[in-house]
């Protein structure tokens, strides 16, 4: 008996040691390097149809001269070229649009392998990351230092990456969002903490403070008064304990997600803001938000947003997922091949199971679908009133695919009442104006940065033509069809690797920021 026990213990110990070594090997296994193509000092695109996203006009058969990543000349006549090393691109019967921007993403320490290649392959040349760090490097989330370094490496042509525009703080969500061991001012329990917070993030070269739901109202108001003094602004979720009207008047520059008007336009809106447990109250009130939605209240708030130039990022893909989590045809998405097994089976798998169960229950049947449909109607209302709308997808949320989902969002915006041109504007010139970067980005004009996408077909005729990408130009680096396939193949391959999955899991479990987010 004793010998059997010793044998069992040896096998158990050996198994534990083996598993430990395998995990350790996965964590430290070297990652492959994805090198960008050669950079060209001069690029000429010949005989291409240019889409003017400001007017909706098409400039047919134009030649475009690009030098040092700036558009030097747009002409219907032949452009003389003395640089024999220049790149010549045949644009005949093709269409040129500005690079697309995704204005609501979440990058992490693995984005350079799992997200960046897919952004570029899908014509997404600019992203606004809505997450960040505290005063220590996080194992999972990235902060302004990493993103600004990525931008430098993009310029030096040592990295495949979109441009990261407008650097974000960590989400300000009250004391519960801050793990132990970090300075108390991050909790914003008192308005007196605001200056220390703003000074810290100013030093971190952050552009805006990310607002989340549970930020204390007094501290939120103090942020509103103080951020301009530091050259910052604030953007993000609508705070749960502050009305949307007050948040607009206080100067919040952008509001995220399709729920913001639902929170404010039903009979229980005041009770939701004052509820001790707002999450429980929200869950119980969701039917009323749909059934008793007050269009006039919503329109009043939309007019206020328009007046104060507050932008809206509906991220319709998040609500679409919740509405379709029970639908096999939706869940069996071919883009899942770009997602690590760890994310699919743990994080996303839980979301699918939870939302599918609700959608199929008698109590909640059809509720998420009705919520999604009503949110799309609000997009149409807001657009008609003149609220500036930007495209955002909420990468890395469930069933949001880096790069691919921007095209789904464009389609959903047109299904919600925007014209094809207005949808394109939401991802180009409107986003650039929000970032106060429209002098250099957002449209195809002489003097502007040449972040461009070549399409096989006209997206003004059919918005889904935005997917028909023939080539992407960023930082005078050209990704043709072969390079685009190479980018997609790279992420598909790396996401399936055992060591990549181990790295993702380890960074996830080792992050104190992730732990408090899931605990909440």
The string of pLDDT tens digits covering residues 256-297 is 999 999 999 999 999 999 988 999 999 999 999 999 999 999
pLDDT at 10 over 90: no
Query: What number is the average pLDDT over the span 48-58?
Result: 98
The string of pLDDT tens digits covering residues 156-215 is 999 999 999 999 999 999 999 999 999 999 999 999 999 999 999 999 999 999 999 999
Residue 24: C-alpha distances to residues 31, 33, 515 (Å): 14, 21, 21
pLDDT at 18 over 60: no
Q: Alpha-carbon distance 253 to 428, whole Å? A: 18
The pLDDT score that the predictor gives to residue 358 is 94
Q: Which fold has domain 96-449?
A: TIM Barrel (3.20.20)
The SS3 of residue 516 is helix
Q: Helix H segments across 132-266?
A: 144-155, 194-203, 217-226, 244-250, 260-264
Taking the model in full, what pTM does it have?
0.95
The string of pLDDT tens digits covering residues 353-403 is 999 999 999 999 999 999 999 999 999 999 999 999 999 999 999 999 999
Name the percent of the chain in helix, strand, coil, to the closest 5: 50, 15, 35
For strands 469-474 and 452-455, give the pairing.
antiparallel
Q: Helix H segments across 51-132?
A: 111-114, 116-121
- Check: CB of residue 224 under 8 Å from CB of residue 250: yes
Domain boundaries, the chain: 96-449
Q: Alpha-carbon distance 390 to 215, whole Å? A: 24
């Amino acid at each position: 008996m004793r010998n059997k026990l010793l044998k069992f213990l040896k096998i158990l110990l050996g198994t534990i040691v083996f598993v430990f070594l395998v995990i350790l090997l996965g964590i430290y296994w070297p990652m492959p390097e994805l090198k960008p193509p050669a950079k060209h000092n001069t690029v000429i695109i010949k005989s291409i149809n240019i889409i003017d996203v400001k007017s909706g006009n098409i400039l047919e058969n134009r030649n475009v001269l690009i030098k040092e990543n700036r558009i030097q000349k747009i002409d219907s006549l032949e452009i003389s070229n003395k640089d024999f090393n220049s790149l010549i691109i045949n644009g005949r019967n093709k269409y040129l649009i500005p690079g697309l921007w995704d204005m609501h993403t979440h990058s992490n320490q693995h984005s350079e392998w799992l997200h960046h290649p897919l952004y570029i392959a899908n014509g997404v040349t600019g992203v606004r990351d809505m997450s960040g760090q505290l005063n220590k490097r996080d194992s999972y989330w990235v902060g302004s230092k990493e993103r600004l370094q990525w931008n430098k490496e993009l310029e030096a042509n040592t990295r495949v990456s979109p441009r990261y525009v407008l650097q974000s703080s960590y989400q300000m969500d009250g004391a519960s969002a801050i793990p132990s061991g970090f300075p108390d001012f991050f909790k914003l329990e008192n308005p007196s903490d605001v200056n220390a917070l703003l000074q810290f993030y100013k030093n971190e070269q952050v552009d805006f403070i990310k607002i989340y739901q549970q930020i204390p109202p007094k501290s939120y108001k103090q942020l509103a008064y103080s951020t301009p003094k530091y050259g910052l602004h604030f953007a993000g979720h609508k705070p749960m304990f502050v009305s949307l009207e007050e948040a607009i008047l206080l100067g919040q520059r952008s509001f995220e997600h399709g729920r913001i008007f639902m929170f404010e336009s039903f009979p229980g809106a005041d009770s939701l803001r004052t509820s001790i447990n707002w999450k429980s109250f929200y869950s119980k009130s969701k039917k009323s938000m749909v059934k008793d939605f007050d269009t006039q209240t919503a329109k009043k708030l939309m007019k206020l947003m328009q007046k104060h130039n507050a932008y809206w990022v509906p991220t319709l893909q998040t609500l679409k997922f919740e509405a379709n989590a029970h639908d096999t045809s939706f869940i069996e998405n071919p883009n899942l091949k770009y997602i690590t097994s760890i994310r699919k089976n743990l994080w996303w798998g839980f979301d699918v199971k939870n939302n599918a169960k609700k959608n199929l229950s008698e109590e909640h049947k059809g509720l998420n679908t009705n919520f999604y449909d009503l949110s799309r109607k609000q997009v149409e209302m807001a657009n008609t009133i003149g609220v500036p709308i930007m495209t955002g997808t909420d990468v890395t949320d469930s069933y949001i695919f880096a790069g691919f989902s921007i095209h789904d969002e464009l389609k959903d915006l047109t299904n919600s009442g925007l014209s094809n041109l207005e949808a394109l504007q939401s991802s180009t010139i409107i986003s650039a104006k929000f970032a106060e970067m429209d002098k250099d980005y957002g449209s195809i004009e002489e003097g502007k940065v040449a972040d461009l996408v070549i399409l096989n077909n006209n997206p003004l005729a059919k918005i889904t033509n935005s997917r028909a990408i023939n080539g992407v130009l960023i930082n005078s680096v050209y990704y043709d069809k072969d390079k685009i396939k190479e980018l997609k193949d790279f992420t598909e391959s790396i996401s399936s690797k055992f060591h990549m999955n181990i790295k993702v899991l380890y960074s996830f479990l080792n992050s104190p920021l992730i732990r408090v987010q899931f605990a909440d």
